Every structure is written in C-alpha cells, then in structure tokens.
C-alpha cells in the first residue's frame, strides 16, 4: 500500500468571536474537467459548547468533521432531492445528510475526499464521500447519492467551515482530480502528485457479511438461480463447454452482460461484437469462477462487492457496495 505525500506547508484558519460559515473557493474551469476533490485537515481546538465544522464542498454537497457540544461525527450533506444509493456501515441516513458518529480526535490528520461519476444520457450525477484512516491504511465510505437533473464534471469546489473564536485547524493539502486521473495541487506547485492507495474498505468484513445475507435471502425466495458457491462467488453453469479449459492466465474472448443484483439495471454488455480481455486483469469475481468453464461454456455469476468494485465510484451505473451479476459466454481462450 502507498501513502499520501504529506510534507506540505500548512494554512491556518482562525475566525472571529461568533460562529460563522466560511468557504474558501477554488477556481474550477470547465476545461479542467474535475471529477474529485481531496484534502487533509487537522483540527487543533474547538469550542466545547458550539458547532464546529471543517471540510470540503463540491457543487451542492459537503463532507466535513463536526463537533457539536459533546458529540463528534463525520457528515455528508446533499440536496433534499438526492437519492441515497449507498452508505457505509453504521452511517445514519437523513433526508439531506448522512451521519457517522465517530469520535475523531484533535491534532490528528484526516483526509477527506469527494468523487463524482456522471451520466449524460440519464442526466444525473453520483457524489461519493470518503474518509481515509492512516493507521488502518483503509478508506471509510460515508455514502453515495444520486442527483438528477445535472451531469458533467464538478462546477465548483471549496474548503468549508463553520467556526468560532475557539476553533482552529490547518489544511495541509488540497488537490483536484481530473477525468484523466491527473492531479492539480491547490496550495502549492512544488510538490509531487498524491498517490492514492487502492480503495480498500475499512468495513469490508461487515459489508461481506451483510451481502452474504442478501444473497442467501434471494436464494431462499427463488429470486436467483445462481446457488452454487466457489470462494464466496455464487454461480450457475449454464453450459460447461467442450473446448479447452479456461485458465486465469488466459486472454479470453467473451460475450457478456452485467447488471445490478439489486434491481437488474444493466450497466454493460457486448452486442454484435465480443470483447477480449486478459482474465487476470478483470475483477476478482471473474478470475475465481470463469476458469470453471471450458471454451464454449456459459455461466451466470453473482459477485459480492468486495470481489468486484468495492467502494469505488467507478461508474454512474455501479454505485459503491454493489453486488453484481454477469452472464458470460467464453468464445475463445488463449
């Protein structure tokens, strides 16, 4: 695992005697094609009897650390018209906010990230909120929401706070990510780009148990015929195939259809022409069960999110923590 590069100058924020909202806007040009905002903050002092917040905002959503009297939490606010598509373990859902009651500490670094995925045809955008924990070397998904009536890249971004005279924090890094994966440093130009560790999920064990229960319930209610299990992937072999045995090291040519286990929404499929992939570069669920076939075989696969895309905001049609279904026909394996 790689860590973020942290050796950067810090900016200090101290406001007046009355609690107030403040945003430090970052310039976002359409040509930048921004899809994400990442920052690291360290809160040093708070007012014990007043609201204290510090975080980030993109478009109409905000992600922040909050201390309000004796309670501390990490919050993700969004428009009331948004639909919650995913939430992390123990995250509470309200009409315009997700809340995770977490006793974050003063004088510790916390990395906050907002990422988006957009669908122009469907005229909607997904916003996902994450927090990084250095000690565990893992991410926490706070949640993902869908906002209809808007699409495209991020239009506005800012540092965001609600603070008072007793409140102080430092922001040691701030970055925008573009559609091509490159980064723009918002505080200084003298530092190398951050290296994001893989989207390993701090809730992975609990999430896997939850999804196992969901799949078992579908089986019990005859909502899926993929009832055989191999290394946590459920499957049904429709046709074994009479060609050579498929190996995980093969490059396979396939016809496939992928859809969400929850509601059958199709997110990808081949049509007239098949697709060709090195099998060992695909998601783990494919690598586990496609080698059960011979060339010419067909299989239905139900893949828990931990063996698919986990908490990544990979596509507007695949929310984080999605159980996926694939129907695969292997035409060739080399």
Please check whether residues 174 and 213 belong to one and the same domain: no
Please tell me the predicted confidence (pLDDT) of residue 269.
97
For 187-197, write each residue's pLDDT tens digit. 876 777 777 76
For residue 22, give its domain range.
Answer: 11-185
Please check whether residues 44 and 176 belong to one and the same domain: yes
Q: How far is CA 197 from the centre of its chain?
A: 13
Please check whether residues 218 and 170 belong to one and the same domain: no
Domain harbouring 224, CATH code: 3.10.50.40
Please tell me the predicted confidence (pLDDT) of residue 172.
82
Please tell me the predicted confidence (pLDDT) of residue 60.
96
Q: Which stretches in the chain have pLDDT values below 50?
A: 1-17
Entry pTM? 0.90
Answer yes or no: is 173 within a domain.
yes
Answer yes or no: is 84 within a domain.
yes
Answer yes or no: is 191 within a domain.
no
Answer yes or no: is 5 within a domain.
no
For 276-329, write each residue's pLDDT tens digit. 999 999 999 999 999 999 999 999 999 999 999 999 998 999 999 999 999 999
CB 227 within 8 A of CB 276: no
Please tell me the predicted confidence (pLDDT) of residue 12.
39
Q: How far apart are CA 280 and CA 282, in angstroms?
A: 6
Q: How far apart are CA 246 and CA 253, in angstroms?
A: 11
Q: What is the count of structural domains for the chain?
A: 2
Please check whether residues 226 and 108 belong to one and the same domain: no
Please tell me the predicted confidence (pLDDT) of residue 2.
38
Residue ending a domain, among 129, 152, 185, is 185
Q: How far apart are CA 256 and CA 268, in angstroms?
A: 8
Please check whether residues 230 and 322 belong to one and the same domain: yes
Answer yes or no: is 2 within a domain.
no
Residue 204 neighbours by CB under 8 Å, 6+ apart: 138, 306, 310
Residue 181 neighbours by CB under 8 Å, 6+ apart: none
- 236 to 124, 239, 291, 332: CA distances (angstroms): 34, 9, 13, 20
Domain harbouring 44, CATH code: 2.60.120.200
- For the record, the structure tokens of 74 come out as 């990490």
Residue ending a domain, among 150, 185, 220, is 185
Q: Are β-strands 266-269 and 11-14 bridged in parallel, bridged antiparallel, or unpaired?
A: unpaired
Q: How far apart are CA 117 and CA 36, in angstroms?
A: 9
Residue 160 neighbours by CB under 8 Å, 6+ apart: 21, 22, 23, 53, 54, 55, 56, 57, 62, 64
Residue ending a domain, among 141, 158, 185, is 185
């Amino acid at each position: 695992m790689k860590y973020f590069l942290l050796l950067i100058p810090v900016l200090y924020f101290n406001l007046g005697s009355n609690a107030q909202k403040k945003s430090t806007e970052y310039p976002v040009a359409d040509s930048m094609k921004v899809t994400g905002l990442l920052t690291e903050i360290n809160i040093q002092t708070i007012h014990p009897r007043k609201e204290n917040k510090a975080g980030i905002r993109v478009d109409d959503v905000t992600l922040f650390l909050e201390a309000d009297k004796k309670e501390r939490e990490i919050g993700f606010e969004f428009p009331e018209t948004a639909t919650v598509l995913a939430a992390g373990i123990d995250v509470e859902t309200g009409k315009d906010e997700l809340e995770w009651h977490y006793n974050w500490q003063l004088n510790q670094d916390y990395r906050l990230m907002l990422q988006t995925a957009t669908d122009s045809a469907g005229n909607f955008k997904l916003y996902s909120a994450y927090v990084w924990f250095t000690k565990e070397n893992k991410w926490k998904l706070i949640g993902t929401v869908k906002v209809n009536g808007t699409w495209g890249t991020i239009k506005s971004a800012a540092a965001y706070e609600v603070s008072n005279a007793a409140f102080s924090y430092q922001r040691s890094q701030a970055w925008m990510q573009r559609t091509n994966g490159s980064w723009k440093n918002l505080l200084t130009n003298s530092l190398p780009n951050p290296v994001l560790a893989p989207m390993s999920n701090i809730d992975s064990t609990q999430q896997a148990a939850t999804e196992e229960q969901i799949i078992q319930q579908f089986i019990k209610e005859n909502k899926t015929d993929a009832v055989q299990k191999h290394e946590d992937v459920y499957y049904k072999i429709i046709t074994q195939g009479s060609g050579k045995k498929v190996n995980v090291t093969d490059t396979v040519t396939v016809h496939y259809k992928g859809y969400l286990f929850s509601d059958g929404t199709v997110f990808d499929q081949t049509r007239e022409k098949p697709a060709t992939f090195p099998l060992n570069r695909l998601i783990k669920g494919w690598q586990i069960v496609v080698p059960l076939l011979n060339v010419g075989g067909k299989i239905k696969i139900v893949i828990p999110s931990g063996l698919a895309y986990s908490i990544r905001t990979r596509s507007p049609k695949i929310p984080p923590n999605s159980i996926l279904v694939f129907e695969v026909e292997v035409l060739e394996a080399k």
